[in-house]
Amino acid sequence: MPVRSLNSSVLAWPDGQTVDRAVRCWAGEQIRLHPELLRLGYFGSYARGDWGVGSDLDLVAVVESSDEPFERRAARWDVTALPVPAEILVYTSEEWDALPANTRFARTLQQVTVWIQL
């Protein structure tokens, strides 16, 4: 989250390197909490390098399988330890493989996502 300097009223937003390091550290914990995790990455402004003050972090996880519907899976992932607001999309490997390559969103995910080495 933004940090206020002790002698200034200016808020400093975490830069891309800080967010990348935090995601990589957070990923290590997620492997322990979610043994079904196959891939984890981020996309959007932090992946493109055009983040700015107020940018959130867009995460994507690919898991082996899930009994929960897509729209409920993110609730099991605590993203509050990350230094900026974050949202996560959690796909099963079958869903990920079935993403239609001809949609803009799927192309963006495939081309821009920064994958974390697990």
- pTM (predicted TM-score): 0.88
Round to whole Å and give the CA distance between 11 and 33: 33
Round to whole Å and give the CA distance between 38 and 33: 13
pLDDT at 63: 98
The residue type found at 103 is: T
The number of domains in the chain is 1
The edge-to-edge listing of strands for the beta sheet with 86-92 is: 86-92, 57-63, 37-43, 114-116
Structure tokens at 34: 């979610």
Average pLDDT estimate for 67-73? 96
pLDDT at 101: 78
Round to whole Å and give the CA distance between 39 and 62: 5
CATH of residue 90: 3.30.460.10
Per-residue model confidence as pLDDT tens digits over 31-50:
999 999 999 999 999 999 99
The half-sphere exposure of 20 on its side-chain side, counting CA atoms within 13 A, is 16
Round to whole Å and give the CA distance between 27 and 52: 23
Domain that holds residue 78: 3-116
pLDDT at 16: 93
Is residue 105 classed as helix, strand or coil in its secondary structure?
helix
Cα dist from 28 to 4, 61, 118, whole Å: 28, 13, 7
Round to whole Å and give the CA distance between 85 and 90: 17
Round to whole Å and give the CA distance between 95 and 24: 24
